[in-house]
Amino acid sequence: MSLLENHYTQEHSIFRESIRRFFDKEVTPYVEEWEKAGIVPRELWEKFGAQGFLCPWLPEEYGGVEADFLYSLIGIEEAASTHCAGFVFPLHSDIIVPYIYAYGNEEQKKRWLPGCVTGEYITAVAMTEPGTGSDLAAIRTTAVKDGKNYVINGQKTFISNGINGNLVIVAAKTDSEADSPYAGMSLFVVEGDTPGFERGRNLEKIGLHSQDTAEMSFVDCVIPEENLLGQEGKGFYYLMEKLQQERLVSAMMSQIFAEEALRLTIEYTKSREAFGRPISRFQYISFELAKMATDVELGRTFMESLIIDHMAGKELVKKASMAKYWIAEMLNDVAGKCVQFHGGYGYMEEYPIARLFRDAKVQTIYAGTSEIMLLIISRYLGL
């Protein structure tokens, strides 16, 4: 029995059916087209928002319905069947927009949040730079105060929603002389049409072909002081405070992808025959599928326990890091074996398992690499 079974209501079931119908009609038929184009259309975001699927957790005064975190899980679960990893609405709804809600003042919330719900605004977060990777303390982008404005200069890379995004949270140094490199960082909201803000090319990636990922540059980009998010110098701490949910969402996505990969492979091995019988009847394959099913079940149980604790407001930095690390690595192990059991067909683009396989790898890289997760866990162990 699912640990979440008693937490679901009739409203959750209605939401699931509604979002499933949307994906069946508006996403699944167009996935191949978007994969080749390297981007999903902006219109999809607007259609999705018009149905109330973006940021449903927000209070009604900002356009939401104050839904609980289970709605986020349902959205990710139902999206898995589309085999489209390029429509990264969880990044927008559950990772980036919470920064504005948590640290924005009332004027900023009223200014931006309703558009985040409707899809008018598509958000991105610009942290990573060409030479920094996971080392946020080493960022070189600066924001210098000039009267009632800030002038931003610097470069960012690997930014998801980098082409479609028109509301970008940018991490920049505001005090290069601060005692700690973490103390001099601030967050700013840069709107897409701001002079001096330029997008680079849509980066070509191994996987996530329909997810627009871009470089960004800020050249004497002037924004009003009202676009400072929260307090100056608190940016690093804001990022750290929100990483728990980011890593939990990442773990949720890895878990759902692993479940879908296993489902596809069980289905395939039961129908594919060799030497006069389904290949699922060969002991090696059946045992390996049993092992994978066990790992997937363990991942689901761990994930659901964390969702329950997260909804209760508990601090889960260590466990969220464990989940992000273990489930992402488990996904890659499962996806690799699933491709193998598809044989030559597993290497063909027309088979969904091939896309799941190449899309899986990045789960061990973004939102903190597996190595960074291990570092965090080791520190919580007092090592």
Residue numbers annotated as active site: 246
Determine contact, residues 143/219, Cβ cutoff 8 Å.
no
Identify which of 114, 5, 138, 6 has the alpha carbon closest to the alpha carbon of residue 54: 114
Residue 40's closest CA among 27, 50, 24, 29?
27
222 to each of 60, 190, 197, 267, how far by Cα in Å? 32, 9, 9, 55
User: Under a CB-based contact definition with an 8 Å cutoff, are residues 323 and 251 in contact?
Assistant: yes
In a 13 Å sphere around the CA of 236, the CA atoms on its Cβ side amount to: 17
Inter-helix orientation angle 352-360/235-271, to 10°? 150
Beta pairing class for 197-202 and 213-224: antiparallel
Answer whether 360's CB lies under 8 Å from 331's CB.
Answer: yes
Residues 6 or more apart from 378 whose CB is under 8 A from it? none
d(CA 27, CA 204): 22
User: Phi and psi of 158, rounded to 5°?
Assistant: 60, 40
56: which residues sit within 8 A by CB, 6+ positions away? 15, 64, 65, 67, 71, 93
